[in-house]
Amino acid sequence: MSAQTPYLLFSGTKSRYLADRICKSLDLPLGQMNIQHFADGEFSVSYEESIRGRDVFLIQSTFPNSDNLMELLLMIDAAKRASAHSIIAVIPYFGWARQDRKDQPRVSIGAKLIADMLSTAGIDRLITMDLHADQIQGFFNVPVDHLYASSVFLDCIQKKLPLDNLVIATPDVGGTKRASSYSKYLGIPMVICHKSRLRANEVAEMRIIGDVEGKDVLLVDDMVDTAGTITKAADLMIANGAKSVRAIASHAVMSDPASQRVDDSALTEIFFTDSIPYPGKSPKVKILSIADMFAEAIRRVCNDESISSLYVIK
């Protein structure tokens, strides 16, 4: 790699597909690194080029399994020991984000633990996207650049959906702020699904607050795991007279049986970003790339330019 390159980008194993796209957008080669795996599941990380005195961006989402997080921690430690000038963790999908508070006795706050581990390993900055809870930024004592997939989704919405008959909806009360931002910016009404759970990943009851009869509904969420909530919300919309139901969600966790649930549901289609690789196959799932957005954020960080000015919806 040329010594004139102002910064270096490296990728963990599972985020290589996205790192390649980001590097292409920046017109930079991806840095060379070796991740060696041992028979017992242990692995080691080494950089195959000098990073002394350089600004290093490490691209890796921390989606399951936990090897992705451990790999990132080793990448950070190796960069620190190789005398990198600064270490910026680029984590498009920040795992464990649903564990952001102590909502019952004797539970961990997983998001805070992950933040502490990344800080202890040695990051100087974090770039992430659409955290499950905004307050997670406060778990870090380093700068956090929180990006929003809204810039990618807005273009899709305005080009593909009939705005004159569109209603924004949220599959649960927790996503009201996010859905409200889209509703206000687009100047269209919003409805809310109120749900109750018996246990994690299992919805007991759901009801609609608002009118969807004869409307094209767009459900807005930050992530889809087992797809139980979003598909039940879509079916409920149709049962209450909606003309069609689509959805947008930033992170396609899509654990089994999510793809089958989407296929069997009233959803016409669902749009995700490529923050993590979509593991299944469904004709209803569409993937939009965030590579250019992250590339621009990286460029602006290096040039000390504003990042918040990129977004009209936050």
pLDDT of 1: 42
pLDDT of 313: 76
pLDDT of 201: 52
Task: Identify which of 282, 305, 149 has the alpha carbon closest to the alpha carbon of residue 227.
Answer: 282
Mean pLDDT, rounded, for 110-123:
97
User: Over 80: is that where the pLDDT of 314 sits?
Assistant: no
Percent share of the chain, pLDDT over 70: 95
- Model pLDDT for residues 64-102, shown as the tens digit of each residue: 879 999 999 999 999 999 999 999 999 999 999 999 999
Task: Provide the angle, in degrees to the nearest 10, between the axes of the packed helices 67-81 and 110-121.
Answer: 30
pLDDT of 203: 53
> 29 with 60: CB under 8 angstroms?
no
Our answer to whether residue 159 is catalytic in this structure is no
**For 125, left (φ over 0), alpha (ψ -120 to 50), or beta?**
beta
> 59 with 9: CB under 8 angstroms?
yes
Among 14, 24, 195, 281, which one carries the catalytic annotation? 195
User: Over 90: is that where the pLDDT of 225 sits?
Assistant: yes
- Model pLDDT for residues 163-212, shown as the tens digit of each residue: 899 999 998 887 898 999 999 999 999 999 886 655 655 555 788 989 99
> 57 with 12: CB under 8 angstroms?
no
Mean pLDDT, rounded, for 264-279:
96
User: Over 50: is that where the pLDDT of 111 sits?
Assistant: yes
Task: Identify which of 33, 20, 25, 29 has the alpha carbon closest to the alpha carbon of residue 299.
Answer: 25
Range name among 3-12, 37-46, 243-252, 264-273 with the lowest pLDDT average: 3-12
User: Over 80: is that where the pLDDT of 112 sits?
Assistant: yes
- Model pLDDT for residues 24-35, shown as the tens digit of each residue: 999 999 999 999
> 146 with 284: CB under 8 angstroms?
no
Q: How many C-beta atoms lie closer than 10 Å to residue 283's C-beta?
A: 8
- Model pLDDT for residues 282-310, shown as the tens digit of each residue: 999 999 999 999 999 999 999 999 998 88
Mean pLDDT, rounded, for 148-176:
90
pLDDT of 2: 43
Which tokens is 48 given? Answer: 């195959």
User: Over 70: is that where the pLDDT of 40 sits?
Assistant: yes
User: Over 80: is that where the pLDDT of 3 sits?
Assistant: no
Is the C-alpha dihedral spanning 242, 246, 252, 257 positive or negative? positive
